[in-house]
Every structure is written in C-alpha cells, then in structure tokens.
Structure 1
Amino acid sequence: MLDLTWKVFSQTGNIETYLLMKELENEPNTVEGKTAQQEDMSSINLNL
C-alpha cells in the first residue's frame, strides 16, 4: 500500500496522498492488513 501511495504522490504532488502515506507508515499494530482498532471494532460488532 505504501508503494501505491508513494507512486501516486510522486506523479501528482498531491499533499493529501503524502499525508496518507505517512499515516500508513506510522500505523501501529497492523495485523494481516487490518489494524488492531479494526479488529476491536469487528469483535464489538459480533458481540452485539
């Protein structure tokens, strides 16, 4: 995903794409393509 965002940024110069890339770089606890927060939300939805 980082490669894609970098490629888009380098071709367009879109600052929002760059900021997205930086956010993805700093994303803690990525588990098989899902963040820990998404995992928590999934378990909450199942418990309802």
Structure 2
Amino acid sequence: MLKIFQFLQENINILELLSEEKVCIIGVTEEETKAILEAFAEEISIEKSNYWQ
C-alpha cells in the first residue's frame, strides 16, 4: 500500500484520473480506493490550512 501512495504522490495526474473513476488500481478494492482518495484529500486539506498559519 505504501508503494501505491508513493506512486500517486509522484504521479498526481493518476490520482486525478482515479478520483474521476477513469482508472483503477488492480488488486485494490473499491473501499480501499475510496480510503486512498480520502487520505489524499485530507493531506491536501491539511497542507492548505497550514499554509495560512
């Protein structure tokens, strides 16, 4: 799972396609995909909130 996160951090365009359901990750369930997308959404949210502090 860590390698998936690392790959998506390096290839943010794939993350966008994943969120648009235009691609999927082989061997990852729909629930796991949702969890991955939520984790990235939280990370982006935290980065933006820290920016203004």
Same fold (TM over 0.5): no
- Specify the structure having the higher radius of gyration (Cα): 1
The TM-score, its normalising length taken from structure 2, stands at: 0.34
The TM-score, its normalising length taken from structure 1, stands at: 0.36
The structure where strand makes up a greater share of residues is 1
